[in-house]
Structure formats: structure tokens, C-alpha cells
Structure 1
Amino acid sequence: MKNIINLVKLQYSSIYSIKKYLYTIISIALIMTVFDRNFIMFASGMVTMGLIYSTAFYEEKSKMNYLIYSLPVKPKDFVLAKYIYGFLNTLLVMLLSGILFMVLNILNIGPFTELTLGSISLSTFFIGFIITILVLPFALILGFEKGRLIIVFLVVLPICFAQSLIQYIGSININPTITLIAITLLVIISTVLSYMITSNLYIKKDIN
């Protein structure tokens, strides 16, 4: 457990190396949200992508991943730390986007067309979830160079369709409790399967 915590901290230390890039993304996201309130959904996706995807890209370019091979760390722990890092950042962006939404409402900067705090939070979670269980595995196994086209497609896809998906789910005439349980089970099962497949493939990559 201590190794995993240290690995997660190592992920966050990478943020300092790309802080100018992240500041730029956050600034653009905030400015666009002020001028177009409905841009908050896309802005949340941009920040989530910056924290998760861009950090992983920097680590590969700087050869930081090779440092892991020289440490007494199991490959499965390294992969698990990546997943934890992804979900922590997703929750962080959900919190920040929720605060921004409420501040803009208090300042009467709006209104938000067909957007609620719940829909923004769900969309942000969906974007972070897809990046964590699909984009990161491709980046870890294939690398950003070999898997560039697939990775870019998987990054853009959830950002573009997150809002539409949430609206579609909301339009389905199903008990909210059942919907919540179904989504929760889907998230847990998908995450576990993704982690198991990724960690096993990463071990083979590590051995080779």
C-alpha cells in the first residue's frame, strides 16, 4: 500500500513539470465558460484530459516510466497507481466544475441551457472514467507513438458525446435508483476488467 501511495504522489509530481500547459488549459476553459456558459462541460473535459492524459504523455516523453523498472515496485502496483490517479483527478475536476457552476449561478452569469449540477458532474465523471479505463491502458501498453490515432480518438470521443449521453440516460423512463445501481455496477466491473487486462499485458511488456 505504501508503494502505491508513493507512486500516486509521483504522478502528481509530474504536474509541476507541465504546470504552464495546465495553466493555459485552465485559463482557456474559464474564459470560454464565462463567455459561453454551456462550454463548462467541454471545459471540464479539457481539464480532466490535461491532468490525466497530458501527465502520462509527459512521463513517457521524459522516460520517467523506465525509472519504475529500477525500483522495487510491482508492475501491477504501478498500473493500479495510474488508475487511482485517474479517478482522483476525475473527482477533483467534478468538485471544481461543480463549484464553478454554483459561482456562475450566484453571480447570475447564465442561464445554463439544459444543464444542471448533476449533469455536469456525471459528464465529467464519464470523461474521466473513459480516459482512465481506456486511454491510459492504450498509452501504457502501446505507447503514445504507436497508439497515437487510437488514443486521440478515445480522448476526443467522451468529451464530444458526454453531454448527449447524459441527456439520453436522463430521458429513459427508468427508476433513478435502478439506474444508479446499474451505472455503479457497470463502472466497477469495467474498471476491474480494464485493470486486470492492463496489468497482465503490462507485466508481459515489462518482462520483454
Structure 2
Amino acid sequence: MSCQSHYLTLVVLRYKALLHHIIKKGLRGVKFEVTHRANVITKYRIANLTTQPTKKLMFPVDENATMKSVIEYFQEMYGFTIQHTHLLCLQVGNQKKASYLHMEACKIVEGQRNTKRLNEKQITALLKVTCQRPRDRENDNLKTVQHNAYDQDPYAKKFCINIIKKLASVEARILPAPCLKYHENGKEKDCLPQVGQWNMMNKKVINGMGEQMG
């Protein structure tokens, strides 16, 4: 094997290991239910992700350490034929006594809350949606109402729900900003905030105090 081929192999292996780590981290703790048992719905939490594909997974089935493949076990016990044997298995239980469940026989439980930290790309996408200018938000809402066509929805009609295609108008008033009072010794004793903001230049607080922590 040439040095170039050896280097390429190492790069591929490291990429696979990194990808496996990312997927495992994202799936850990997620609830799922199995679908290969007739009339029996059992729920588990994902503890790990196997490093080997299903076709290579073996486990002991008795005290004599008789080994059996996951593919054979699913076929003999449940009559379930695994089609995509190259996929990894979900692992439940602890590392010493793990159970392997193939992804074809698993379904993620709906309605789970994601408590994991968002990455930078997800945070940027979230801020882009939530931090909109009022006019842009108004246009998006109007487009959504028009696209969903609530006036043609059979369920809305059945419950006599009518949704107008324009924003509701409410009476409101804008209160003036309060005048802020600072120390008499400062260059600026009073301050009137502009557009909800102000700075502390040329100002002194009336009663400054120090606070000890701990």
C-alpha cells in the first residue's frame, strides 16, 4: 500500500468515527418503540449506537457462550427479516448486558422535547426566523394564512371557525419615556431616553455602592 493510499484510508476512518460520534450523541436518550412484536409495544431509550453493522453483530445466547447473529435471532424469534443489514443497531441497556435493536424495527416516539444545545447553524436559523422586522413578520403571517386556506378547511368549517385574511387592529397608545435623574455633580443631571436607550456618559449615579461577593 502506498503512503497516499494509507493516508486516504486514515482520513476515511477518522471521518466515519467523527460521524458516528455525532449521530450517537444526537440519538442518546431519545425514546423509541419497537414494531417487530405483534400487538406488543415496548418503549426504550437509546443508550448507544453500535460501531459494527448488523451483519457483523454477534452475541451470546446461553451460559455456554453460544454465539448467534442479530439477523438470525430476529428471524427465529420474531419471523422478522432484516433487509438493510449494513445499517447499525440501536443499543439499549448497559454496556455489559446490551440489547441490539435494528433500526428497521424501531420508531421514534413523537412529542419528545429536545434539551440538547443547538449548534451555531441552528441558532442562526432560529434567530433569522424569530428576529424579524415587524413588516417582514406581517408579510410572513399573511402569506401563511393565504397558503393554508383555512376558509376551505373541512375541520374549520365543521367547528364554525372563521379566520380572516388580515391582521387584527387594536387600539393602543405609546407612553412617553420617563426622565431619568442622576447625581447633581455630573455634567448631565437629567436624561431622556431616545428609542428606548441611553448611555452613561457625563453622568454620575446618586448613591453608588460596592458589594462583596461570598
Check whether TM > 0.5: no
Q: Which has the larger radius of gyration?
A: 2
Q: TM-score with structure 1 length normalisation?
A: 0.21
Of Structure 1 and Structure 2, the greater strand share is in: 2
> What TM-score comes out, normalization by structure 2 length?
0.20
| Relative contact order, higher structure (CA 8 A, sep 6+) | 1
